[in-house]
Amino acid sequence: MMKIILVEDEPSAMRYLRSIIECKCEGFEIVDTVENGIDGLEKARALKPDVVITDIKMPGMNGIELTSHLKDELPFIYSIIISGYQDFEYARGAIKSGVVDYLLKPVNIAQLKTLLNSIHRRLEEDYYERRLLLFKQAFSGAAIEAWRLNKYLPFKTYCAAILRVNGLPSRFPAERPVGLYDIIAFPNISTGDNIWALQGRDEFETLFFSSPYVMDSGGFETAISDIAAKLEAGYYTLVFASEPFELQDCKDVVSALYRTLDCNVILGFSQIIRDIGARPNISNSNAVLDETIVKRIDFLLANGMYDELKREIEKLLALWGEQHCTQLWVETMLRQIFYRIDKCSVNTDYDIEFLLNEAVCYATDYDELKANLWDMLDRITGPAKPNVNKIDSPLFFYSIENYLKQNLSQPLSLKSVCARFGISQTYLSRLFRKYKNMSFNEYMTFSRIEEAKKIISEHPDMLLKDVAELVGYNDPFYFSHVFRSITGVPPSKYLSNTEFDKG
């Protein structure tokens, strides 16, 4: 329930407002009533309400002064001023700044109900984002003010999960673009679902939180498992915390989720792990090449038999796939092979660790890994020469970028764009890091939000759902959350904020 403080010095007006809110406005509760602005400010400081509804003319401190103090000290509070026609000009400054909403006396029941419903939706978004920020502070070990916990995370225990799409994070990540928020949105989750999603180490990883007090553990597991099952790209690894935990243990739980995830990611294989501390069937510490294989590889290298070497590696890949070896295990084994190849190479125009990391991390299955390794092998063993590949040119990337901008309303994915241009997902990811210093997904999000900002500026009366569809979002609530995570304001406030800044 969202909390309201009423500030009104006329008893009859106070009774009328209370009756409307208690009988007609679901989702709100009145936590206190006071007769002047001074007491209203003290109560707001103590109770931290979500909404303050105040008259303008009161003894001691008037409504305009009260809302000004609230804006400075408690900016999360929504203020509503209620007064007569004669005070409208007096309140115009506060209204224009967007600090308060304004209702005229006598208060119309339908208008107050509509206004509070609108504020309730905004408060749900505020609560969602503030809870996520508190979770981020909790698992980073930062101190959190007690009143913020009491207001936004008052639950005794929590549950958590981590979802990873495709392979583990790159060890050579691009610098994250300025303005990319850690809070992310899922089209399957709304702000009222009591599931809170926070980006992990990159855009392919998500931490989910909830509480048994608002959603039972079974419902949480079902909801997150459904999200994972509906993912279109590649494969996934989903790990659930074994038991509910107190917020003070959040840092340790998240660390355990990361460790379990990292030890169990298997290339091309989707899996759900419900036991923190679960270990793979083949220990990552035992990833050592058999001496017979080492001798075979050395023989093939010494005699320049690279086609035979590829067939040998292909056999190993097939075996590791059948055995469901983890990504860490496979990468360790490949490192031993390619360091032996590196010793026989006269070409120094490469970084073997970077190439291997790229080949493994961006592969979605063993076929793609194999193709990446063959590219890597050719680069290491071939003669050093200038890169004249036309698909690694600014002109080729411009053609991709132009295609994306012309099709923002379509459900574009990394996979579909790769099919359109005849290149692998690894290669396309590499192009985006080279020319844009960001991932494909980050680029698409920024491009869609930039286009949305243009549409809102040029067509301020266009419906939110229409703007969303024009930039590729079928769910207007999801679009609104993404927009706010990038710009800091919801679409409904973007234009007024821009005009206010210009003024």
For 86-111, the pLDDT digits (tens) are 666 666 655 654 556 788 888 899 99
Cβ proximity of 44 and 31 under 8 Å: no
Say yes or no to pLDDT of 367 above 80.
yes
d(CA 185, CA 197): 7
Say yes or no to pLDDT of 185 above 60.
no
Tokens 């981020």, located at residue: 136
Tally of CA atoms within 13 A in the half-sphere of 124 that contains its CB: 17
Alpha carbon 319 to its chain's center: 36
For 110-124, the pLDDT digits (tens) are 999 999 998 998 898
Output the DSSP codes for 20-35: HHHHH-TTEEEEEEES
Cβ proximity of 382 and 346 under 8 Å: no
d(CA 35, CA 43): 11
- DSSP-derived letter for residue 176 is P
Say yes or no to pLDDT of 168 above 80.
yes
d(CA 27, CA 427): 50
Mean pLDDT of the 34-61 span? 93
Sheet containing 78-83: order of strands: 28-34, 2-7, 51-55, 78-83, 100-104
The pLDDT, as a whole number, for residue 197 is 87
Task: Tell me the three state secondary structure of residue 347.
Answer: coil
d(CA 356, CA 376): 8
The pLDDT, as a whole number, for residue 183 is 46
Residue 22 buriedness (CB in 10 A; 0-12 / 13-18 / 19+): exposed
Res. 268 pLDDT band, cuts 50 70 90? very high
Would strands 159-165 and 236-240 be described as parallel, antiparallel, or unpaired? antiparallel
For 296-355, the pLDDT digits (tens) are 999 998 888 989 999 999 999 999 999 999 999 999 999 999 999 988 876 666 788 988
For 54-76, the pLDDT digits (tens) are 988 888 898 888 988 998 899 99
Cβ proximity of 24 and 4 under 8 Å: no
Alpha carbon 21 to its chain's center: 35
Give CA angle at 21 (15, 27), nearest 5°.
155
Q: What percent of the chain has pLDDT over 70?
A: 87
The pLDDT, as a whole number, for residue 178 is 44
Res. 385 pLDDT band, cuts 50 70 90? very low
For 190-205, the pLDDT digits (tens) are 555 688 888 888 888 9
Tally of CA atoms within 13 A in the half-sphere of 143 that contains its CB: 2
Say yes or no to pLDDT of 152 above 90.
yes
Tokens of 108: 């119309």
Report, at the CATH architecture level, how domain 394-502 is classified.
Orthogonal Bundle (1.10)
Mean pLDDT of the 345-372 span? 85
Number of H-type helices and E-type strands within the chain: 20, 10
- Name residue 192's amino acid: G
Say yes or no to pLDDT of 184 above 80.
no
The pLDDT, as a whole number, for residue 113 is 93
Q: Which of 227-241, 282-296, 322-336 comes out lowest in average pLDDT?
A: 282-296
Tokens of 294: 């080492």
Say yes or no to pLDDT of 411 above 90.
no
φ/ψ of 83, rounded to 5, equals -165, -175
Tokens 């008893």, located at residue: 11
Task: Tell me the three state secondary structure of residue 164.
Answer: strand
d(CA 403, CA 407): 6
Cβ proximity of 169 and 204 under 8 Å: yes
Tokens 């079928």, located at residue: 474
For 480-497, the pLDDT digits (tens) are 878 887 887 888 777 665
d(CA 156, CA 144): 16
Alpha carbon 213 to its chain's center: 24
CA distances, 392 to each of 387, 398, 400, 427, 434 (Å) = 8, 11, 11, 9, 10
CA distances, 212 to each of 13, 116, 127, 218, 221 (Å) = 41, 28, 18, 9, 11
Q: Return the CATH superfamily for domain 2-123.
A: Response regulator (3.40.50.2300)
Q: What is the CA radius of gyration of the chain?
A: 29
Rounded to two decimals, the pTM is 0.80
Tally of CA atoms within 13 A in the half-sphere of 427 that contains its CB: 21
Cβ proximity of 233 and 214 under 8 Å: no
Tokens of 407: 């099709």
